[in-house]
Chain A
Amino acid sequence: MPWNGMRPARALIAATVALGTGLAALSLPMAAQVERLVAAVSKPGTETNRFWSGATMWHVMDPALEGLIEHDPVSGEVTDKGLAVSWEASPDFKVWTFKLREGVQFHHGWGEFTSADVVHSYGLHTGEDAIIPTVDQLRGAKAEALDRYTVRFTYDKPIKDLLFLHGGRSVMKVYSKAQFDAEGLEGYDRKFAGTGHFQFVSRQPGQILYQRFDSHYSGTKSDFTELELRFVDEAATKLAMLLSGEAAIADLPRELMSEAINAGMETTQSARATLQTDVVLNGLYCETGDPACGKDLPWADRRIREAINIALNRDEMLEVLFPGGGAELLARYAMAPGHEGYDPTLEERFKTEYAYNPERAKALMKEAGYPDAFPDPTIRLVLKPSAGVPEIALQMELIHQYLIAVGFQAELREMDHATVGAMGRAREAYIIHPSKNGPPRPTEVAFRAFYSNPGGPYQGWENDWTTAKIKAFSGETDAGKRHEIAKEVFNYLFEQYVDLPMFEIRAQLAYNPKMVSGWQFPGVTSSGYGHWHLVKAAQ
């Protein structure tokens, strides 16, 4: 056990922190603590310092660890202000070269950041135990340090979305090779060094403490000298922490935002949408000859798929689920502007062809012979709790209500994420379940994971036409042709009503204006929020 050596020190720090916070909370809960920023945030999927083998922990590692590509906090666009100052891809998107910033210092005195650290970090993030999203796309490159500040990735397949992986998704963080060579992974576990605006101080079960890193290359400094993130899952408790002044910031669910505002709190949201909440009509593994095809499922019939779609009053859902705004209707997966195959006409058509129309839904059901023509007419909706996004479960309850209203025999079933995943992996997911797509995946990833065989476990749709098209798309290197194929696929999926498109939402947080005056962040990575150094202190 690598922990034994440092236990006394850790315990001491822990006791000091605990005593400090305990006393502070007891004596002057409302006093403006400009020194330390305390935030109540959703529990990360894993509490570990090894970013590459943890789950959903961007928001708690973000203060210290940076990826290669930085985003602008206001526009949300990619900028050259991060660790990489310029980059270029070969015409076939197989070779990517990044020019790195000079003079970047690692925390805790581990020296200057160079291309060797990038190569080392790439190795960590594509190793045996890497479970970060899109890891199978990140893999497979030869990473080379061309000189001290130039690094090159050579893939044997075109990889158009590498910038998204490093930026929007931020799946690879930069760790120090010097520290690894001196201390190994145990060194990371104890006190890892990154390049972010805050450096790691200590971690205890349920919380993590950072300290401002004054030699950050950007020259900008946080208003706060310390940052303490406390992991709280119970939303009512998070709100209580905010209102009692124990926490200055809390990532509350949407339905508690108005309570926070009523109590004098203010809210902030990401510049970009960070999450899609679409619902998957799963089980249609219907390439010719595939025995797994759920051909008797009601939603194997296009008319039923359309009926389900137009039975939903999406405007009403939007109001119920996201009363504080920060969410919009979205026509389809991966259909954000800027992604390959984006077709603005679909956005227009969506407004009429997917519009709420219960009468037409009933007519379509009748035409399809529902329920008598189906061996099992039950519409199985899965209520899957999503960590940090309670709206996704409520969304399924609403869908259940709408489907019952037009006469579907709809049934809600509660399952957790892993159960749905197991069914999907066994290709037996004959269910309708939510998917948490955050941030919107690039077209190639979405095609591979959601619409082709063998995709990820949370896909719903396969048939000969789609598979052939997607194969052609993946092999194509000409950008114009790729766009055309992708557009054709999206139009087809749209007309087939293969899924239930829902909303794209922005990350929202509430803060106490007595301590914090504002926070503008771009909205990248799966957790949606970060850039903690941009939190502005109240005067």
Chain B
Amino acid sequence: MKRYLIIRLFQSLLAMLAISMIAFVLSHLSGSPVDAMLPDDAGPEEAERLIRLWGLDRPYHEQYLVFLGNALQGNLGDSIKWSGQTAMGLVLDRLPATLQLGGFAIIVSTIIALPIGVLAAVYKDSPFDSFGKLIALLGQAMPNFWLGIVLIWVFAVTLNWFPTSGRGGLANMILPAIAMGWFQVAALMRLTRSAMLEVLDSEYVKLARIKGVPEWRVVWVHAFRNAAIVPLTYFGLIAGSIFTGSVVIETVFAWPGTGLLAIDAIRGRDFPVVQAVVLTFAGVFILANLIVDTLYAYLDPRIRYR
């Protein structure tokens, strides 16, 4: 177990190093911040001055080594676009908003998916099964920005149940969380359903039934407790899709998180911030998967030797 963890940790660090390189190369390929930040009417001298100021006149490998050296000390440089702020500071300022919304979206999708999944397994091939499947699949079939706008118009403007946008209390999170989380419902529900089917068919569930345990207890206590582990594997993947979703959903709902920051940074060719965002996203993703894998390895010893 220890050895498995150490190997995984080492692999993760290696991946982060590679990602730092990719982030560096990609962001520098995307052009120069000078072109994004230079006023329309400024002449070449102004451009030259900014190139010197931002250290863009130095060779690429030198820039990368400086970046890497600083990154190892936890410093990803000063933002070019957000004057007076560090790249990492900007990301950390906005990360809680993204994690909060993403976490809530996961909770929402779990709350919807698990019961539907369980009931679909219990009432297999009934109309409920198909209906549940349809609800779940619908979330996977709509562009999320479109879903978000429709939700705003129906529930915020017409019905006035929720605020339209912005970060605030619980009420502000419901619409964006649905727009973000519905997509995950199908996969989670499917996993739960098949895990439940398997468990319901197992010996000890049959045993419980024979012993006269009431059916609801069989389903929700005996079976569900064992089936609930399976969707866990999926949460590692969700972490990635939450970030992908955040870029779009944060724009629609004016949610001031990292996704919004990422778009601005890329458009502004703000290399330090682009790198910080990519590294943070990747870091959180890798960490989430590490935790999931560890938990899973702990629960299921066969994994360790795969």
Contacts and interface: CB of A to CB of B under 8 A. Distances in A.
A binds B: yes
Interface in B191-245: none
A381 to B, nearest CB: 19
8 contacts: A48-B85, A204-B256, A205-B257, A232-B166, A244-B157, A246-B165, A425-B47, A458-B41
Nearest to B270: A46
Contacts, number: 189
B43 A128 contact: no
Interface stretch (A80-88, A413-421, A489-497): A413-421
Contact of A133 (B39, B252, B269): B39
A343 interface: no
Given A48-B85, A231-B254, A418-B32, A236 B149 contact: yes
Interface residues of A, number: 70
Contacts of B254: 40, 206, 230-234, 237
Given A18-B169, A241-B165, A418-B36, A205 B97 contact: yes
B49 to A, nearest CB: 7
Nearest to B253: A237
A501 B44 CA distance: 25
Nearest to A231: B254
B31 to A, nearest CB: 5
Q: Considering residues A55, A185, A234, which has the most beta carbons from chain B within 10 angstroms of its beta carbon? A: A234
B82 A47 contact: yes
B152 interface: yes
B140 to A, nearest CB: 23
Contacts of B260: 205-206
B164 A131 contact: no
B73 interface: no
Interface in B274-288: none
Contact of B40 (A26, A204, A458): A458
Contact of B171 (A3, A26, A234, A448): A26
- A-B residue pairs, 5 tightest by C-beta: A206-B256, A22-B169, A22-B168, A421-B35, A205-B256
Given A128-B53, A416-B267, A449-B43, A26 B165 contact: no
A369 to B, nearest CB: 35
B251 A234 contact: yes
Contact of A131 (B50, B94, B171): B50
Interface stretch (A213-221, A284-292, A389-397, A433-441): A433-441
B37 interface: yes
B99 interface: no
Nearest to A52: B83
Contact of B252 (A189, A237, A421): A237
Given A133-B40, A135-B42, A457-B40, 9 more contacts: A43-B264, A133-B41, A136-B42, A241-B165, A244-B164, A417-B35, A421-B34, A435-B40, A455-B43
Given A54-B83, A236-B149, A437 B40 contact: yes
B289 to A, nearest CB: 28
Q: Considering residues A25, A29, A49, A133, which has the most beta carbons from chain B within 10 angstroms of its beta carbon? A: A25
Contacts of B50: 131
Given A136-B43, A244-B156, A244-B160, A25 B252 contact: no
A29 B160 contact: yes
Given A22-B171, A240-B165, A425-B35, A205 B94 contact: yes
A355 to B, nearest CB: 29
Contact of B43 (A29, A446, A456): A456
B256 A207 contact: yes
Interface in A314-370: none
Interface in A28-51: 29, 40, 43, 45-50
A290 to B, nearest CB: 15
Contacts of A40: 254
Given A18-B167, A26-B163, A234-B254, A131 B89 contact: no
A48 B39 contact: no
Contacts of A1: 86, 89
A405 interface: no
Contacts of A204: 256
Given A128-B49, A243-B157, A237 B165 contact: yes
Contact of A135 (B32, B46, B149, B170): B46
Contacts of B40: 133, 435-437, 449, 456-458
A422 B32 contact: yes
B304 interface: no
B153 interface: yes
B38 interface: yes
Contacts of A25: 163, 168, 171-172
B169 A26 contact: yes
A243 B34 CA distance: 39
B149 to A, nearest CB: 5
Contacts of A237: 149, 152, 164-165, 252-254
Contacts of A422: 31-32, 35
A456 B42 contact: yes
Contacts of B38: 131, 421, 457
Contact of A246 (B44, B53, B164): B164
Nearest to B81: A46
A19 interface: yes
A232 B152 CA distance: 14
B84 interface: yes
Nearest to B168: A22
B93 interface: yes
Nearest to A29: B160
Contacts of B169: 18-19, 22-23, 26
B35 A419 contact: yes
Contacts of A19: 168-169
Contacts of B89: 1, 3
A517 interface: no
Contacts of B253: 237
Nearest to B53: A128
A134 B39 contact: yes
